[in-house]
Each structure stands twice: as structure tokens, then as C-alpha cells.
Structure 1
């Protein structure tokens, strides 16, 4: 009698694996402001590391509705995916050991990547962009700069679209394959202008042709009935979706990177 033919495991995208696999908690990420758990997700012979942030572990915020941060993280991923830049790791909303939450692919950051720096010069060196002056103690200040890196510039555009209120240095993860990821997008998509970021180096500069093309794609997909609009509808409110459309239109109309508005702290604290 011949052995039964083995059916090979079906091909799965990382997002499908995160959504359908068995989620096992391995430990807690201690420095996270909300409950964040290091996990593995397994489906048949596939396994990968991930982060699980249950809604039940979210701290209340005065300016965001309770229990909405996980959905906003997924919404940020969907917008990133629509740009084609894939700046946010695959992220899904699913049930887990502590209830519904967001599950995101774990990215192992490459140590030593030079994306941010403090310098004593008054102007940034070639290859760097100025953010602003930082207090370094004993009455001294230094210039905080970020790399003039096209990956960061794309992320600055994405943050402007999703209205990211918390783009810190620790949320930038350079991966071993040369890609750069941004994480921690729970405080996004607010209807009010809350953009707080370390990526102000291009403020007021003309958007790249690539960025304008991508924003045009987003505008089309965000139209009522558009593919992205349909996917975002269950994650953010109608008013927040409308505000996202307005931000995309504003970027296309101005043709430049946004500048700090002055009514809201421009740089998150702590910055890293």
C-alpha cells in the first residue's frame, strides 16, 4: 500500500499567518507604555515572532477614545501597504489570550544604525537634517539631527497622512535587509492636527515626485467606495476617515512637507 500523498502547506502572507496562526505569549515588553507582549504565532510548520497588544491593556488617553489604539495601529499598516512603501510591519486585529488586540510582525532592529544624532555644530553636516536644539544639561544645548535618508522621508509623508502624534526615535527600526520600519501607531488618525515627530528636517521643502504620485494613489483609494476607504471604515470613525482625505488633499495642494503648526508640541517627549 502506497503512502498517502502529503499535501504541502499552503502559501501564506505574513499578515495571514498573524491572523490565523496559534498565538503563544512568551514574555512582556517592559518599556512599552501600554501592555505589549512578545509572542510567537504558529500555523502548521510555520512560526514567526510577533508583538501582541491587547485592547484590555491600553491606558486611557484624554484625546483618543478608549479601546481604539489597536485598531489605529492596523489602520496605519493598511495605509502604509497602500503606499507601496511598506513602512509598517504587517499588522492585524484578532483575538488572543487576553482578548482582542493588534498583532504585528516582530522586526529585529540592526544595532548601530545612524539615524539620529546630537551635534555641537550650528548647522547639520552634509547628509543630515536639523530637527532643533535639545537641552543636554548644565545649561548647554546641542543640535538634534536626523539622517537625510529617503526611507525617513517616506515615513515623514506617511506620518503626515495618518497624523502621527508620537514619532519617536525608538519607533524607527532599521532591518537587516536594508529596509526601515516604523512602529507604535496607536495615536494616529485624530481629527485634530496632532503631528508630533522627530522627522521635521524636510518641513517646508517640496515633496518628491514619488511622494506626489503615492499621494495621488491614496487619494483615489480613499474616495468613498475606494479600496482603502472600505478597509479603514471598520477601524476609524467616518470623521477620522474624512480628516485623512483632507490631509492628503492638503499635501497635494501645497506640494510641500508640512511645518509645525505651533498649537501643539512639535516634538514628542521623550524624543527617543
Structure 2
């Protein structure tokens, strides 16, 4: 029997193909990603003679959180993917909700980062750069610590960080349009955990964000390393995308109907309110001061 064909990383037109593979394919667990806060399993998925690497997060492996209902982090990950797709930016890897070897869970396409030709996740469950994270890959070139209080050309300041021995350094992120789009998406979905390790630059130049379980809360929970544009005007592209998204979130629209199956009515209403607020103010949000602005640990 011939080996299954390996499906390449998704282009915009191939998202549906990947969704079908993830939703209908046979999942085979090949390892567990170490040190993730919830159960994260590396798998292969095979369907119709095609296979790919993916991540499976069973609901049974979710650690309870005080501010999120038990057993629904996987649904929030799928909701984040749907909103990302609605923007047209393709910032979240293809993600589905389905039954797996350990019950219902989120299944997401593995995106290899690093040099082109990276064949997939290491067999020992470490990240693509050897780090023991939950599939983060390498975000080098997007985040840095610099001496002094000036970010420098091409960088946006975030906050001063304690680097030990009484010393501080300025945490900065790249003034990168891909990151700026992701900052807008995070504001829409109310991402409470945008760490540096959740940024996945792919070999083809695209950027993905992963780990969206703590999103869509009806209260302001935005915690991110991407505060560099806080208070600055949104780009014309972002305003256009948000206007289109507002229409797609209207009652009875397919996106709104699908999100209603994944998050609560109050949370869906909050998504609409956040989009409307961004359009009304026309600027990137700023920290509220009522919630820690930067996730811990930041990477």
C-alpha cells in the first residue's frame, strides 16, 4: 500500500481541504507535548490517501480555570479560527472540533516553523527549536530585549522587563504588519494569553498565532505582548476588515450562527461590541488597568 501523500502547509485557498482532513481523518497519537498546561497530543491525521501532522487537545485534558467554564477551551480555539478566517488574514491554523482517541477535542494543523523544508514536529514532543513548549516554534526576529529606553527603528516598545541583578531591559516587538493584524484579531477575540511562544512564523513568510483557549470572555481580559500600537490609529485595511466582520457577526449570518454553537450568547454579544468599539474609536486598544496587561510568563 502506498504511503499517504503529505499535505503541504495551507494557502488561503486550501483551508477547506485541510479542514476536511482534520475533521474526517483517522487520528493517530504519536506523542505528548511536554510542559503544556493542558493535555496536548501530537498526532498524524490521514484521510483519502493524504496525511498531515496535527495537535489534538482533548476536553478531558483541560485544566479548570476560575474565570472560564470547564470543558469549553477547545470550542474557543475553534471560534478563534472561524473569526480569523472571516477577517481573510488566515492568522490561525485550520482548527476543528471533533471526536478523537480520548473524546471530543480541538484538532489543529501543525505548522512547522524555522527553515524551509522542516519536515514536522520532533518525535520527542519538543518545539521546532527544541524548546519544551506546546508547539510554539521559533518567534525569533519578532521579539527582543534591548538596552535603554528607546525601541529603535523597526521596533515597538512594550514594557521594561527585569533581567536580573537589578538590571532592566526594554521588551520590544517588531513593527511588522503581520503582528499588527494579529493585535487586531486579539482585540476582537479578547485574547487573554498572547505570549511570545504563541507566535509561529512559517517558512513561507506567513505568521500564525496559536493557543486560543482563553478567549471570548465577556469581560476585558486582553493580555498580550503586542501593545506596541496601543492608542495608535487602526490601518485602513483593519478598519475595512472590521466593517466586514461586523456585518458577518449580525444575527442570522453563518458566522454568527456557528459562533453561537461555540460560545455563550453574552460572549457573542461582547464580540460584536468589541468590533463596534474598535470601529467607533478607530484606534488600537490600550490596557484597561483593571487586569494584568502582559501574560505571565511572557514567553
Q: Quickly name the TM-score band, shorter chain normalised.
A: over 0.9
Structure 1: gaps of 5 or more residues: 1-10
Cα separation, 2, equivalents of 1:249 and 1:26:
44
Cα separation, 1, equivalents of 2:107 and 2:202:
19
Q: 2:46 is matched with which residue? A: 42
Alignment counterpart, residue 292 of structure 2, candidates 242, 254, 265: 265
Structure 2: gaps of 5 or more residues: 1-13, 115-137
Alignment counterpart, residue 18 of structure 2, candidates 11, 14, 17: 14
What do the CA deviations read for 1:16-74 (whole angstroms, capped 9, x no partner)?
Answer: 10000000000000021100000000012100000000000000000000001000000
Tell me the SS of whatever aligns to 1:164. coil
Moved more, 32-41 or 111-120: 111-120
Question: Are the aligned partners of 2:139 and 2:196 in contact in 1 as well (CA < 8 Å)?
Answer: no
Tell me the SS of whatever aligns to 1:67. coil
Q: What is the 5 A alignment of 1:1-272?
A: 13-110=17-114, 111=138, 113-272=140-299
Give the length in aligned residue pairs.
262
Moved more, 103-112 or 245-254: 103-112
What do the CA deviations read for 1:242-266 (whole angstroms, capped 9, x no partner)?
Answer: 0000000000000000000000000
CA RMSD of the aligned region, Å?
1.0
Cα distance, 1:27–1:18 mapped onto 2, change above 3 Å: same
Q: 1:3 is matched with which residue? A: none
